[in-house]
Chain A
């Protein structure tokens, strides 16, 4: 497939998949694209003779041929140098500094923090070993990332503080630059912790599920009491203290709140502007998303996209992670095809220093790669992950969204299909819907800006 067309929010849109060119067209051109293959003008003229005037059809065909000549329509499949098949370099680590949590979220893929094992904290020594591991294995790359994750990382602030000081010292000694992130449920986000995170330029991913009833239903304390009041207060204070910058307020929606657009807007109404709300990934639970839910979820994304545009226009805009799309200066093809990097560029580290392909694989023992103390021992798995890129997955190779989604989440593919080459279908459908919305939004904003 080289062309994808869709109608959204009053716009007829044609995407030239292999160049990334986005064309807003009239209804006649949209119809013609059902027949036109780049070289069959006579067939087009015959097919639409009773529907559109011949002169108009000829005009459209002329414009389409101009786009073909400019390599913006029917652009052939790219010949891509497989830079991602070269020697693996690790550039990103997810440090599970605490395999314990002070919440008992219903949908937690980490088994409420312990990942199916004993609850435990990462020592300062293991954190140092992990940092040395990424420095050693990132080769000549300058930019690397570490995310402090859990469980709940603020339950082990001693190690977080130590690791941050250690990273900053090693940056000076090695010339590398580390982007640091911390993902927290917000319960322990007090003034002292917030000050430390702000002072050290650590990006925050703050969990909040939107409306209070939705949040409390899924994110209770150990005693069953809802966490919303405490979490919201702490997170809003932290966000204000960093001038509404360098964070994402992140939620999860489930079958219990299929009307999740209301949750996104509730988060925006709290004064937060950097938002990300994701579908839950779950099998066989009462809150799991199923294919029957998709029409409702698609309608929610459509509605959210409309309100998103309205609020941008009236000066009350917010950013929604999955609607962010740079249609002019996005990532290179190599990046788009290589995907998330789990298992070779991106690894997760448990409190004991064990290495897994990503945070979601932690606890799936067949995916244990090694330990930060003595490196990756299972060299077969990283190679398997590296080769599981878009062009090597049958379904992805023909998908219109192949240059945007990165081939989907390996952990979800393994969870649902026991094969990282077979993407998780519901995830794909939602991803494609979000991309349609994102492309439409960017098209509208560009048209309205008069560029």
Chain B
């Protein structure tokens, strides 16, 4: 077990390069902000 580093997530953006892009997700500015764009907190529909 690592002594100095703890990785807290299993994210791999690379893996979504080939699986993503379906476009079924919600528009990022549409739900709760309407004044600032944020995509990091969107939910994938897949």
| Partner-B contacts on A (CB < 8 A) | 14, 18-26, 28-29, 59-60, 63-64, 66-67, 71-72, 75, 78-81, 83-84, 89, 91-92, 94, 109, 141-143, 145, 147, 179, 181, 183, 203, 205, 248, 250, 252, 274, 276, 278-281, 321-322, 324-336, 339-342, 345-346, 358-360, 403-409, 412, 427, 430-431, 434-435, 438, 442-443, 446-447
Contacts and interface: CB of A to CB of B under 8 A. Distances in A.
Contact of B27 (A84, A341, A427): A341
Interface of B: 2-14, 16-45
Nearest to A25: B5
A60 B16 contact: no
Contact of B16 (A23, A250, A332, A442): A332
A-B complex: 8 closest residue pairs judged by Cβ atoms: A332-B20, A404-B40, A83-B21, A334-B21, A20-B11, A332-B16, A248-B32, A406-B39
A205 B32 contact: yes
Contacts of A446: 8-9
A145 B27 contact: yes
Contacts of A434: 38
A321 B36 CA distance: 11
A328 B41 contact: no
B23 to A, nearest CB: 6
Main secondary structure of the interface of B (DSSP, over half): loop
B8 A409 contact: no
Contacts of B14: 18-19, 71, 75, 78, 333
A442 B41 CA distance: 12
A67 B7 contact: yes
Given A20-B9, A447-B8, A89 B17 contact: no
Given A29-B4, A72-B7, A92-B27, A331 B20 contact: yes
Contacts of A28: 4
Contact of B45 (A22, A143, A438): A143
A241 to B, nearest CB: 19
13 contacts: A20-B12, A24-B7, A279-B36, A324-B41, A329-B44, A335-B42, A340-B29, A346-B29, A346-B30, A404-B40, A409-B37, A412-B35, A435-B40
Nearest to A278: B35
Nearest to A339: B37
A25 B17 contact: no
A278 B29 CA distance: 12
B40 A345 contact: no
Contact of B35 (A71, A281, A341): A281
